[in-house]
Amino acid sequence: MARIVMKFGGTSVADLDRIRAVAARVKRQVENGDEVAVVVSAMSGVTNQLVGYCQSLSPLHDAREYDAVVATGEQVTSGLLAIALQDLGVDARSWQGWQIVLRTDGAHGKARIESIDGELLLGRMRGGQVPVVAGFQGLGPDNRVTTLGRGGSDTSAVALAAALEADRCDIYTDVDGIYTTDPRIVPRARKLPRITYEEMLELASVGAKVLQTRSVELAMKEQVRVQVLSSFADGPAVTEDALPGSLVVDEDEIVEQEIVAGIAYSRDEAKVTVRHVPDKPGIAASVFGPLAEANVNVDMIVQSTGEDGLTDMTFTVGKSDLARATRILEDARGDIQYGLLATDPDVAKISVVGVGMRSHAGVASTMFRTLSGRGINIQVISTSEIKVSVLIAADYTELAVRALHSAYGLDAA
């Protein structure tokens, strides 16, 4: 017997047939003897339609009213799934955020969960009932419905799993797990049976979007074991000794830790170089201060000391922020006193991620040697405790990912 939160996204509940299929899956899990709570998203397309209504009526609509409108999508799915479960003979009941009570802060449209009182639902679950909770929403301090922002249903599920002290939070999606890299680039990419929270965060933030970042952060903080698995495959009840997906867990739970978990890439960044800057204290602040004020996120940063008391600063910004960053730096030319401003949007960031590199030397040098062996020039390097990232010309993205995937022994047999 396990206590499990099962979460189904919009494509998994896209129509009545798929809702019936979800009900059948939940039933198998209940018949396995597990205590089950379910979290659902809106039927796919519904949220977009409701958002469209709000925007069409007023581009600057009130976020409180937006929340009242948009939260109905999940409310409908929760009621429908409860009906479908009852039709299969499974005792079920729908719950909205304001009923259970799932409290959030007052940041309408992007609220953060503050607390869930799990006792009400736990009592029901012990009595054999399946709570079907509307994801993505809660109750704000003003007694009004709040929504958590796009992808918030993952966070709802993890928060509920924490409140219920569930053994596992199973996130059913349109992929069957977390892979060592993008299988469209590397057909021999392997599904990872287990991955740490930290690795998942690094992989998610550099492009492998499967779970919402906030949900992983919350899972790490609350030590919720999260499994990513496919809602399309039609398997038996999921048991701990034969998990079909990828389990995101604490490092301690992974006995045979690989040094490198995966290779991620992102083509969403652009390179900015400010050349011939006077090399004196405070110059970094004069470059990055105006960008921060304008809410432009800066990622990789290198500073190369040159001759003549001049230096070059290179960094990356989001591609969509490049025009704005350029304008800001041109305006600040007088303050910074740089010689030349160069930008390049045709770059890719390639990252090698793995908690094992904390205790293993040589990961970075393997990376540099592999890329150099393929004639790929490294423009910028940045490192964290569990990640080494390099910036290269975008044309070399696939080549670099494939070469690194092989070099770290990640290819499937």
By the criterion CB under 8 A, which residues form the site for a second copy? 16, 19-20, 50, 53-54, 56-58, 61-62, 64-69, 72, 75-76, 78-80, 82-84, 86-87, 93-94, 96, 98-99, 143-144
Q: How far apart are alpha carbons 396 and 403 in whole angstroms?
A: 11
Q: Which is nearer to a second copy, 58 or 365 (CB)?
A: 58
Q: Which is nearer to a second copy, 61 or 191 (CB)?
A: 61
Q: State the minimum distance, in angstroms, from the CB of residue 341 to a second copy.
A: 42
Q: What contacts 24+ positions apart, CB below 8 Å, involve 292-296?
A: 294/324, 294/325, 294/328, 296/321, 296/324, 296/325, 296/328
Q: State the minimum distance, in angstroms, from the CB of residue 75 to a second copy.
A: 5
Q: State the minimum distance, in angstroms, from the CB of residue 336 to a second copy.
A: 43
Q: Which is nearer to a second copy, 52 or 409 (CB)?
A: 52
Q: How far apart are alpha carbons 408 and 249 in whole angstroms?
A: 22
Q: Which is nearer to a second copy, 60 or 255 (CB)?
A: 60
Q: State the minimum distance, in angstroms, from the CB of residue 156 to a second copy.
A: 17
- The CA R_g of the chain, rounded to the nearest whole Å, is 24
Residue 185 main-chain phi, psi, to 5 deg: -95, -40
Q: State the minimum distance, in angstroms, from the CB of residue 60 to a second copy.
A: 8
Residues facing 93 on adjacent strands: 131
Q: How far apart are alpha carbons 390 and 279 in whole angstroms?
A: 25
Q: Which is nearer to a second copy, 118 or 356 (CB)?
A: 118
| Helical (H) or strand (E) element with 51 | helix 46-57
Q: Which is nearer to a second copy, 78 or 273 (CB)?
A: 78
Q: State the minimum distance, in angstroms, from the CB of residue 93 to a second copy.
A: 8
Q: Which is nearer to a second copy, 132 or 300 (CB)?
A: 132
- Beta strands at 269-278 and 347-353: parallel, antiparallel or unpaired: unpaired
| Helical (H) or strand (E) element with 197 | helix 197-205
Q: How far apart are alpha carbons 42 and 50 in whole angstroms?
A: 11
CA–CA distance from 260 to each of 3, 8, 273, 300, 393 (Å)? Answer: 32, 30, 31, 21, 23
Q: State the minimum distance, in angstroms, from the CB of residue 74 to a second copy.
A: 10
CB-neighbour burial class of residue 344 (10 A; exposed 0-12, middle 13-18, buried 19+):
middle
Residue of 316, 315, 303, 299 lying closest to 277 (CA atoms): 303
Q: Which is nearer to a second copy, 86 or 366 (CB)?
A: 86
DSSP 256: S
Q: State the minimum distance, in angstroms, from the CB of residue 305 to a second copy.
A: 55
Q: State the minimum distance, in angstroms, from the CB of residue 61 to a second copy.
A: 5
Length of the chain equals 413
CA–CA distance from 127 to each of 45, 65, 90, 124, 287 (Å)? Answer: 35, 37, 12, 5, 61
Q: Which is nearer to a second copy, 8 or 66 (CB)?
A: 66
- Beta strands at 298-305 and 310-318: parallel, antiparallel or unpaired: antiparallel
